[in-house]
A and B are shown apart, each in its own frame.
Chain A
Amino acid sequence: MNNLKNDINKIISKQPSNWKEKAKLRKNSPWLREYSSEIARRILASIEKNEELNQTKLAELLSVSSQQVSKIVQGHENLTLETIYKISKALRIQLITFPEYKYSSIGQSYSITPKELPPYFMEMKVMKGGGVSYDNVQNDSQKVAS
């Protein structure tokens, strides 16, 4: 195997691949695939459907650079709520939606029940006097922390 190592060393580039750094970043940013990419797809679909719109036009509407829009549609941006709101208005589409909820009477708890619950979700209790308290609740509704 040492022969192989020596042979490879003769031709290997002195500059190693940058892959590992990028992989680490992607591994630590699951929101890139789960959120940023989902938003990017909807922006791209909206632009594709509207003949009068392109990425340059969208950049103008948002008062940002074309490079910034390019990063957004690559799904690589940690978008702020403000940016999401501005894009929604510019494209006239909803990029994020909120689950329905309802309050119950005082002392009773309520929960949001989307189709797929995350590993835990927040339960909000309406307290006497109008205040609220939040508890972390597991999917099986067993409290784990407060």
Chain B
Amino acid sequence: MELKSIFVDEDSGEGLYSMQYDGENLDEFERLLDLWNDTQYLSTYLLNNSKFLNTPYFRISHNDAMTKILEEAEELENIIYGYCEKGFGEGENLQMIFKQLENKDTKMPVYQFSKAKIDSRKFPRFLRFYAIRISENTYIITGGAIKLSLYMSEHEDTKRELEKLELSKKFLIDNEISNLDDINYYYEQS
């Protein structure tokens, strides 16, 4: 298990990092975006999970799901590519796209479990990156999923992502990667 940089501000060390797990050739961020742009992978994945496409959470055809996933992948990638190219402008930070994993969570732990997705109030989105927050502009991607159920515990793949979050948190603790200054600042401001 190791950490890879996706894009990092050289002065501050802030930026986006990704876990690369043992046995994988690619870090999670690169691996997932490859998969989410792979028509054959998406087609097979959706066929294998077709029962999840006809539920109160999702009611969508295979073809429309494919189109939406590809669009979301492009949109997510473009947002992050924008940060990567332009850096963080005034008032812009990774916290604008990464939110706490639990919607009702009001605490700010040292290793906050987080998710990134395209915002929408109209209909559910398919794609999620999962990450651990270190500071407002420093996140460690631990994985991601095509989220087909309302709760993460309702699908094997998202259940596994919860395990990866815990595993990565342990890795960060063992290697003493944290930013207590950021947490202290957060609580001073709130």
B16-28 contact mask (Cβ, 8 Å, vs A): 1 or 0: 0110100000110
A19 touches B6 (CB 8 A): yes
Q: In chain B, residues 28-68, which have Cβ atoms closer than 8 Å to a Cβ of chain A?
A: 29-30, 33-34, 37-41, 43, 47, 63, 66
> What range describes how many residues of B lie at the interface?
35 or more
Q: Would you give the 0/1 interface string for A70-90, flagging 1 where the beta carbon is closer than 8 Å to chain B?
A: 100111100000000000000
Interface pair A7/B177, CB less than 8 Å apart: yes
What chain A residues lie within 8 Å of B7 (beta carbons)? 20
Contact across chains for A44 and B39 when beta carbons are under 8 A apart:
yes
Measured in the bound complex, the distance between the Cα atoms of B26 and A96 in whole Å is 35
Q: A7 to B176, Cβ gap below 8 A? A: yes
From B2, B29, B179, give the contact of A19 (CB < 8 A): B29
Instruction: Answer yes or no: B78 CB below 8 A from chain A CBs.
Output: yes
> Do A33 and B74 touch across chains, with their CB atoms under 8 A apart?
yes
Nearest residue in B to A5 (C-beta to C-beta)? B13
Chain A contact patch, size range: 35 or more
**A75:B3 contact, CB within 8 angstroms:** no
Q: Is the CB of A4 within 8 A of B179?
A: yes
When distances are taken between beta carbons in the complex, the residues of chain A under 8 Å from B63 are 41
Task: Name A's interface SS.
Answer: helix
Residues in A whose Cβ lies below 8 Å from that of B70: 33, 37
A sample of 9 more A-B contacts (CB under 8 A), given A17-B4, A44-B39, is: A3-B179, A4-B178, A8-B17, A12-B2, A13-B4, A18-B26, A20-B6, A26-B37, A75-B39
Q: Name B residues whose Cβ lies closer than 8 Å to a Cβ of A.
A: 2-7, 12-14, 17-18, 20, 26-27, 29-30, 33-34, 37-41, 43, 47, 63, 66, 70-71, 74, 77-78, 80-81, 84, 134-135, 138, 175-179, 181
